[in-house]
Amino acid sequence: MTRFVRAASAADAEAAAGLHAELHAHFEVRRPADIMRRTRQLTHNDYSDWRPAPLLIVEDETPVGFASYELSRPSKWSAGDLRIAEFLITESARGTGAGAALLAAVHEVASAAGVAVSEPNQADPDVFTTVERYIGSHVIDFAYERTRAGHWSSLRAEAEEKGWPAPRLNDLWHTELHDDPEPGHLYAEGEVPFILLPDGRVVTARFRTIHVEEYLGHGPENRWTLALSGRELRTIGGLEIDHSWSRAENRPALVVAMDDGRLMVNYSYYAGNHFGSDSGTIDYLIDLAEGTASQRAHVTFEQD
């Protein structure tokens, strides 16, 4: 048996996709878009000095493991380092010393660059030679994702218990490829219970997380509408809702009747951008007779 370590090339795309799929399966994540993105990156040799091509450990021409990493070279501002992003030895080669051999090759790359290999940030240092499977928290933050999943699970249970409309989430972020999204590209969409009415009905907040390009910065942003009994309320003016609602972190409050016949509830609001942040509260106003929704903001801007 011949075993050696080399940099991956376009010819390894299919094998690399299989190794990534095995690693994801171990950590119980489903991210086909991530695997597709890595495969395309390898096929197009789309790498840089900062993010080099992964290292493969090969037995008799068959890849049995890989390590992807980020390399920060020494400068006058930093000593630099090599941070392992992903590491896997496939099941058939686990426990044979393959992990130690691959890790040694990673250390050789770091030494040649004049830097050290960083400690793993969510595992014991020997994870590469014992468990031989690793994903850094800068690649997938499992603690955050477990918390987020817990919020949605809790909200679904509470909605069922109290008879609220069932919350829903269609998360396309990691299932559909969006390397170069156009404005309006959809990342996710969903609906959460938002306002409790005196008659027991619930106004829901619907969100669409889309790609925007504007002077405040490019990236995903939520667009909101309100609905009652499945029918969208007509929005008068703009409608802004704190991002935490799209993470299922909040619960609906009971409205207060106003003198003009409208119903009102007040929630906290925060949003940041490149220049500073908006924070405060927003009154959400529902006119059942007209079938409309509007807002009244009490928000201040603080410059960074």
Q: Identify the H or E element spanning 88.
A: strand 81-89
Q: What is the per-residue pLDDT for 122?
A: 84
Q: What residues does each domain of the chain span?
A: 3-135, 157-303
Q: What is the per-residue pLDDT for 215?
A: 64
The two three-digit tokens of residue 85, written as one number: 């992003």
pLDDT tens sequence across 241-291: 999 999 999 999 999 999 999 999 999 999 987 788 999 999 999 999 999
Q: Residue 42: helix, strand or coil by DSSP? A: helix
Class of domain 3-135: alpha beta
Give the confidence band of 35 by pLDDT, cuts at 50, 70, 90.
very high
Whole-number average pLDDT of the chain: 94
Give the mean model confidence (pLDDT) for residues 208-231.
Answer: 87
Contact assessment for residue 129 and residue 99, using Cβ atoms and an 8 Å cutoff: yes
Give the mean model confidence (pLDDT) for residues 162-184.
Answer: 87
Q: What is the per-residue pLDDT for 216?
A: 62
Each as own residue / partner, the long-range contacts of residues 207-213 (CB below 8 Å, 24 or more positions apart, any chain) are 207/241, 207/245, 207/246, 209/246, 210/183, 210/184, 210/185, 210/186, 211/178, 211/181, 211/182, 211/183, 211/184, 211/185, 211/187, 212/183, 213/183
CA dihedral 260, 265, 266, 267 (to 10 degrees): -150
The two three-digit tokens of residue 248, written as one number: 């299922």
pTM recorded for the entire structure? 0.84
Residue 246 DSSP class: G
**Burial class of residue 155, CB neighbours in 10 A (0-12, 13-18, 19+):** buried
Give the confidence band of 168 by pLDDT, cuts at 50, 70, 90.
very high
Q: What is the per-residue pLDDT for 6?
A: 97
Contact assessment for residue 154 and residue 167, using Cβ atoms and an 8 Å cutoff: no
Residue 36 DSSP class: H
pLDDT tens sequence across 79-125: 999 999 999 999 999 999 999 999 999 999 999 999 999 999 888 99
Give the confidence band of 14 by pLDDT, cuts at 50, 70, 90.
very high
Maximum pairwise Cα distance, the chain: 84
Contact assessment for residue 269 and residue 297, using Cβ atoms and an 8 Å cutoff: yes
pLDDT tens sequence across 269-283: 999 877 889 999 999
Residue 149: φ, ψ to 5°: -60, -35
